[in-house]
Amino acid sequence: MKHVIIFSLFLWLLSSCGIENLENGDFPVGTFDYAILNGSVIDGTGNAEYRADILIRGDSIAFIGNIDTSQITARIIDASNLVVTPGFIDAHAHGAPFEDSFENFLSMGVTTILLGQDGRSPVHRLVSPSAFFDSLENHSLPLNMAFLAGHGDLREALHLSEKKSLEIPEIEALCQHLEQALDAGCLGLSTGLEYLPGALAQEPELTAMAKTVGSHGRILMSHLRSEDDQEMNNSIEELLNQGKFCRVHISHIKVVYGKSNDRAQEILAIIEDAQSRGIQISTDVYPYNASYTGIGIVFPEWAKTKKDFDLVRSNRETELRSFIFQKIMDRNGPEATLFATRPFTGKTLAEVASESGQDFVDILLKIGPVGASGAYFVMNEALQETFIVDPDIMISSDGGPSLRHPRSYGSFSKIIEKYVVNEQKLSLEAAIHKMSGLTASRLPIADRGILRQGFKADILVFNPTQIQARSTYANPYVKSKGLKKVFINGSLVIDQDSILNLDSGKIIKSM
């Protein structure tokens, strides 16, 4: 509620002083930084495109409507025959805010990313989350960044990374640390329940954290406990329990080994049913059919750490071997695991096995649960596509500058190229909404994601038919192409695919 009031006040301030020379019905007069003329405006709300001019002054959209160019001074951008949209917001992104240049995101029109995913967050890398934000404040950012607190890191900070059921005082300490991160400006909390230490978390711990998130009006975003077909309903149910106390979100929704549109519809029905019971749940998806993660994903829970693995190898080897064999076969076989780390980069598990004349299980036992990462072709196209075109599911990349998967450099462009232009499964308005306004409304981010007077000037200008996602599994680090202009906070950051500056981003905090 506090949030809403501050936000309304903010809009009122902007509307009362942003366009000081504009009377009702008159054309704007005066000096502006940019005038984007004659574009087809797709404003991010999902509404139909309309022709309008846009004025930028400072970091904000000063005006949208019709301009008499003789009345203004501004750098003119002719957007005739082009669309003008909000910059895209990536609901699930990875990267190192102090090191990476994040050009992969810029090349696909992403102007805001949400970091701190899957239970792991850079905000815990320094003494405290507020120290992290202070230090980042003095660092130039290529694009806007928002952050979640990370459940796994919170647990580690309290030396609880190996403990299964936590005692009440430990849970309280965890919640206090979470509270500090939320007070410092994190948009919410992420959990990674398929990874350690998140996988150890039990219901009392998760419920307590959800209550803390809820009492601050924030969001809990979760990499579910399991994304396997037979576990998926239970995993969602677990998150819905937390959804009684706060807004919840399923990260990068997928049904591993699930098949068909019907199965996707079942999942959507579970989500809709929860929404009809008053639970606020949202989700995001990336447009690729292979996942990417550590090789630990094919090891059993009792052999996911180096320590457990070493122990198990001596006393449960037969059981371990048959688990891994079955897991790989369930995951579409050794051809469907593509290594992305040395020394097997670019080869499938099947190729490595046949080249070395060894069984694929032996290869995996040599690598161990923490020894490699890869892409896993475990998703069904018909099933995932139902999520990708669903009007209520936001688009994410789950990518990062150095994450070896084509989604890192291609997700948002692929939505336009494949689903809008080539296959026409999404209208451009619906696609843009899923990549901007929808995401902003759910996180929420108050003044971005929609083209509206007073909002921040994160703006794209392009011809949809020229957008190209060029990254592939073999060559994942290839930037997208086709953007004419990208503005971030009113600065021109991309001009005809060339990046002009890497310092126009801002930290986005929730207060």
- Residue ranges in contact with Zn ion by CB under 5 A: 118, 223
* Least CB distance to Zn ion at residue 189 (A): 14
**Of 135 and 402, which CB lies nearer to Zn ion in the complex structure?**
402
**Of 123 and 320, which CB lies nearer to Zn ion in the complex structure?**
123
* Least CB distance to Zn ion at residue 133 (A): 23
User: What 8-state DSSP symbol labels residue 410?
Assistant: H
Q: Which H or E run contains 494?
A: strand 491-495
CB neighbours (10 Å) of residue 354?
13
* Least CB distance to Zn ion at residue 382 (A): 22
Q: How far apart are CA 161 and CA 152, in angstroms?
A: 7
Asked if 427 and 421 count as a contact pair (C-beta separation under 8 A), the reply is no
CB neighbours (10 Å) of residue 317?
11
**Of 124 and 405, which CB lies nearer to Zn ion in the complex structure?**
405
**Of 88 and 292, which CB lies nearer to Zn ion in the complex structure?**
292
Closest CA to 497 of 472, 473, 480, 475: 480
**Of 292 and 360, which CB lies nearer to Zn ion in the complex structure?**
292
Q: How far apart are CA 300 and CA 304, in angstroms?
A: 6
**Of 28 and 122, which CB lies nearer to Zn ion in the complex structure?**
122
Q: How far apart are CA 504 and CA 493, in angstroms?
A: 7
**Of 54 and 219, which CB lies nearer to Zn ion in the complex structure?**
219
* Least CB distance to Zn ion at residue 487 (A): 30
Q: How far apart are CA 372 and CA 367, in angstroms?
A: 7
Residue 494 C-alpha from the chain's centroid: 21
Closest CA to 66 of 33, 25, 30, 14: 25
In angstroms, how far apart are the furthest CA atoms of the chain? 83
* Least CB distance to Zn ion at residue 125 (A): 19
Residue 399 C-alpha from the chain's centroid: 8
**Of 254 and 506, which CB lies nearer to Zn ion in the complex structure?**
254
Closest residue to Zn ion in the complex (CB): 223
**Of 223 and 331, which CB lies nearer to Zn ion in the complex structure?**
223
Supply the DSSP string of 351-364, one letter for each residue. HHHHHHT--HHHHH
Q: How far apart are CA 236 and CA 224, in angstroms?
A: 7
Q: How many CA atoms lie within 13 A of 14 on its CB side?
A: 19
* Least CB distance to Zn ion at residue 393 (A): 16
* Least CB distance to Zn ion at residue 28 (A): 45
* Least CB distance to Zn ion at residue 421 (A): 29
Exposure b/e, 104-118, CB count within 10 A at least 16 = b: bbbbbbbbbbbbbbb
Sheet strands (E) in 92-213: 110-115, 144-150, 188-192
In sequence order, which residues have a C-beta less than 8 Å from that of residue 192 and are 6 or more positions away?
Answer: 117, 118, 119, 120, 150, 151, 152, 198, 222, 223
**Of 86 and 296, which CB lies nearer to Zn ion in the complex structure?**
296
* Least CB distance to Zn ion at residue 190 (A): 9
* Least CB distance to Zn ion at residue 242 (A): 17
